[in-house]
Structure 1
Amino acid sequence: MRNLYTDFQIKELEKNPNIVSVSERTITYSPDFKIKAVQEYKQGKLPSQIFIENGFELEIIGKKQPKRCLQRWRETYDRFGEEGFLTERRGKGSTGRPSSKSLSVEEQLKKAEARIKFLEAENGFFKKARRIRKAGVEEEKILTKAETFYLIEKTIREHQLKGSVTYLCKLAGVSRSGYYDWLKSALSRELREEKDELDIELIRHIFISKKEKVGALQIKMFLENDYLAVMNHKKIRRLMAKYNLVAKIRRTNPYRKITRATQEHRTCPNILNREFSQEEPGKVLLTDITYIYYGNGQKAYLSCVKDGTTKEILAYYLSTSLKMDIVHKTLIKLEKAVNGYFHPEAILHSDQGFHYTHPEFQMKVKKLGLTQSMSRKGNCWDNAPMEGFFGHFKDLAEFKTCESISEVKIEIDRVIEDYNNYRYQWGLMKMTPAQYRGYLLAA
């Protein structure tokens, strides 16, 4: 095991004029000292004696260090003479060889060939990587160490360049020892690949069964709840990236601006004040209307009421019209969903849309015993959970193939049933909305 020099030892060693530089692991000796040491060694002096006489403390550099150095330096001296020390490469791993300028034409050609073959392999790798990216997306590709080691091994194997390991490692900017460690770990990598192949099959099954609209956290919860399999979400993300499983999710519109209101609605204040979850099912009710496009550009409207605590969709109504009937029938369905019993402090929160500010709607809400609350004007954050649900809903639903409003209704029923009863949520202690409601009521 090589010594690790402390800061104090480094400072002491740097005082010696026979040393060029010192790092935590290595000492670079001056060429003049090396020549002098080899000559004295050949005259019969012991390595330790030579080092001690030149101001080195064996307790610092190590008792075996003089002998190792002298054996290496003598070999260099015998092969290249004094010139071998005067033109050698500096720093870690120095072998005492002359620079490439002194190499033979044959050696230079061999290095040039190795360089060309490696760069060709690297270029081919980048082209392959670009093909799997989305069209129109170009980004700088930086090889990982494992990818670099793979290219070195491939270059050596395909072009019979066994003597070029050191050169190729230097060319690629990786360590020679790291490359050999990578080769030794081939068996463990194969075992990991086999395990990955088994794990990805289960992940892919869930991913495809959910119409490619679930991410790593969702898959983790499905594994734990439906398959009794425990897998770290970081591993799931790694495998999804490795096997190119990309969830189909909505993308943020960079041109969309959110207007922040500074004044509350005069007739109906924001009582909720973003306190969406109050640990009591039925206490916070959120409502809103969204657009749905189907068929050949046809439009429908979906009105929903969501429980702010359990995230469950309690009532919903689909209509082809935006008349007041859409919110009135939603209220009827809501009353039916709770069997006519509302939480005594229930709040119905919405935006300041035409339907919710209408006197007739407000009268019906009051008759049901609900307290009405509204978001500040133009501020969607005040009803964020409802907006968030509509975003997830449109990710999960498939309206492109629907040709009629009845087909749209069937698809909505399917998605909301799945959302309430089978879609696990990280923020609900990894339960579905229905399970979480049962958990809170039991507690």
Structure 2
Amino acid sequence: MERYSRVKRNQIMQEWKEHDYKLIEQYHVQKNWPIREMCQILSISRAAYYKWLHRKEKGPNPDEIELIEKIQELAKKKKRLYGCRKMSRKLKDIYGIEVGVKKVYRIMARLNLLSVYRPKKHTWIKSNPGQTAENILNRDFESTAPNQKWVTDITEIKVPKTNQKLYLSSILDLYDRSVISWKVSTKNNSVLVDETLREALEKNPGGCQLFHSDRGFQYTRPVFCHWLEEMGIQQSMSRVGRCIDNASMEGFQGIVKDILFILHPEINSIESCIQAVSETIEFYMNEYPQERFHGKTPAVVRAEAFKTDHPAEYPIQPNLRIQKFWKKIEQKNW
């Protein structure tokens, strides 16, 4: 039993109890055995048995049946991508059903519909920096308006059923976590990075105030650094071997790759993978609500921000686990 989650254990225990309740009901009706003695033998409270019996006679709650049907419908449609929080948001947005996250979790666990999303572990390789910039961002991922801080990186995507790889280069705005631009290529080179930035500047002619990346050779090239300088964009780079300095981008890449293979299990070629990446980013922008934005998608938050001179602020809630981790690191350094 210990290998199961708490909700699953409770479900199994409830099924066992219900089996006993049915036995008591059966033998009481067929053989007129006394309920009191059967409850004592099975170590069951008579009050619990009668509560089950009256609930059984009334039949299932229509609201509960509707809720379960909607959860099953959404889970099937989105291939179990949504967790309990996003499922709760979608139930409210699409069907107007307001239900607590814990209740949604219990139902999803009972029906084996919990999200198949799992964070993946990555191995990062240190690079020898060329022309570098200071870590000006310094893990300050807060932004009060669009186009203040952009972060970028390249991630590798292994194409299923082939020995081929794709490289996804993307630029993310830290205000609304929107994908400003993205490019896919079979080659991890400077052209890929240049095209990604060029598209971002075409869509946002004013550029951004701060541009943060790791110390990959594509970003440390003098010509690339000079390009940013001419645009009046301040360049920032992560410290060597410190992927946490670009944590927002790393997290986004993990989410995109998980969604990619959940929504598109049929990928079997370079062409189908590129199309799937495009549809995945479209899904992330327009159909992937985020808790920090009160259930809004990045596209909605960005659109709202450009309609006003005073965009709404979405502060990042402190992560106590990460704070505790860094506190331990500081104590070790002392």
Q: TM-score, normalised by structure 1?
A: 0.60
CA distance in 2: counterparts of 1:184 and 1:145, whole angstroms: 20
Summarize the Cα distance change of 1:425–1:370 in structure 2 as closer, same or farther, 3 Å threshold.
Answer: same
Deviation by residue 1:351-375 (Cα, 9 ceiling, x = unmatched) = 1222222222222222222111112
Describe the SS at the equivalent of 1:163: coil
Partner of 1:238: 106
CA distance in 2: counterparts of 1:421 and 1:143, whole angstroms: 35
The alpha-carbon deviation at position 169 of structure 1 amounts to 3.1
CA distance in 2: counterparts of 1:303 and 1:223, whole angstroms: 33
The alpha-carbon deviation at position 146 of structure 1 amounts to 4.4
The alpha-carbon deviation at position 161 of structure 1 amounts to 6.1
CA distance in 1: counterparts of 2:169 and 2:288, whole angstroms: 21
Q: Contact 1:313–1:420 at 8 Å: present in 2 too?
A: yes
CA distance in 1: counterparts of 2:63 and 2:76, whole angstroms: 20
Summarize the Cα distance change of 1:184–1:249 in structure 2 as closer, same or farther, 3 Å threshold.
Answer: same
Partner of 1:395: 258
Describe the SS at the equivalent of 2:60: helix
2:172 aligned to 306, 311, 327, which one?
Answer: 306
2:47 aligned to 173, 177, 198, which one?
Answer: 177
CA distance in 2: counterparts of 1:217 and 1:204, whole angstroms: 15
CA distance in 2: counterparts of 1:349 and 1:168, whole angstroms: 70
Pick the structure with greater CA Rg.
1
CA distance in 1: counterparts of 2:80 and 2:54, whole angstroms: 38
The alpha-carbon deviation at position 417 of structure 1 amounts to 1.5
Deviation by residue 1:199-253 (Cα, 9 ceiling, x = unmatched) = 1222222222222211122122222223333232222212211221132212454
Partner of 1:120: none
Q: Contact 2:130–2:221 at 8 Å: present in 1 too?
A: no
Deviation by residue 1:154-183 (Cα, 9 ceiling, x = unmatched) = 223445565354444344443233323332
Pairing 1:17-416 to 2, within 5 Å after superposition: 146-159=14-27, 160=30, 162-163=32-33, 165-187=35-57, 190-192=59-61, 194-253=62-121, 267-294=132-159, 295-338=161-204, 340-343=205-208, 346-398=209-261, 400-416=265-281
Describe the SS at the equivalent of 1:377: coil
Q: Contact 1:303–1:317 at 8 Å: present in 2 too?
A: yes
Q: Contact 1:152–1:168 at 8 Å: present in 2 too?
A: no
Query: In the alignment, does 2:298 pair up with 1:433?
Result: yes
CA distance in 1: counterparts of 2:184 and 2:273, whole angstroms: 9
Partner of 1:34: none
CA distance in 1: counterparts of 2:33 and 2:226, whole angstroms: 88
The alpha-carbon deviation at position 376 of structure 1 amounts to 2.0
1:302 alignment partner AA: L
Describe the SS at the equivalent of 1:382: helix
Q: Contact 1:303–1:327 at 8 Å: present in 2 too?
A: yes
Q: Contact 1:248–1:395 at 8 Å: present in 2 too?
A: no
CA distance in 2: counterparts of 1:422 and 1:404, whole angstroms: 25
Q: Contact 1:146–1:182 at 8 Å: present in 2 too?
A: no
Deviation by residue 1:128-149 (Cα, 9 ceiling, x = unmatched) = xx9xx8xxx9xx9577774454
Deviation by residue 1:59-111 (Cα, 9 ceiling, x = unmatched) = xxxxxxxxxxxxxxxxxxxxxxxxxxxxxxxxxxxxxxxxxxxxxxxxxxxxx
Summarize the Cα distance change of 1:177–1:208 in structure 2 as closer, same or farther, 3 Å threshold.
Answer: closer
Summarize the Cα distance change of 1:397–1:163 in structure 2 as closer, same or farther, 3 Å threshold.
Answer: same
2:242 alignment partner AA: N
Deviation by residue 1:311-341 (Cα, 9 ceiling, x = unmatched) = 1000001110112111111111111121x11
The alpha-carbon deviation at position 258 of structure 1 amounts to 8.0
Q: Contact 2:200–2:207 at 8 Å: present in 1 too?
A: no
Please list every run of 5 or more consecutive structure 1 residues that lacks an aligned counterpart in the other structure: 1-125
Q: Contact 2:171–2:179 at 8 Å: present in 1 too?
A: yes
Partner of 1:48: none
2:183 alignment partner AA: Y
CA distance in 2: counterparts of 1:369 and 1:216, whole angstroms: 43
1:240 alignment partner AA: M
Q: Contact 1:149–1:179 at 8 Å: present in 2 too?
A: no
**CA-based RMSD:** 3.1
Q: Which moved more, 1:403-412 or 1:374-383?
A: 403-412
Summarize the Cα distance change of 1:180–1:337 in structure 2 as closer, same or farther, 3 Å threshold.
Answer: same
Give the percent of matched residue pairs that are identical in Structure 1 and Structure 2: 30
Q: Contact 1:149–1:182 at 8 Å: present in 2 too?
A: no
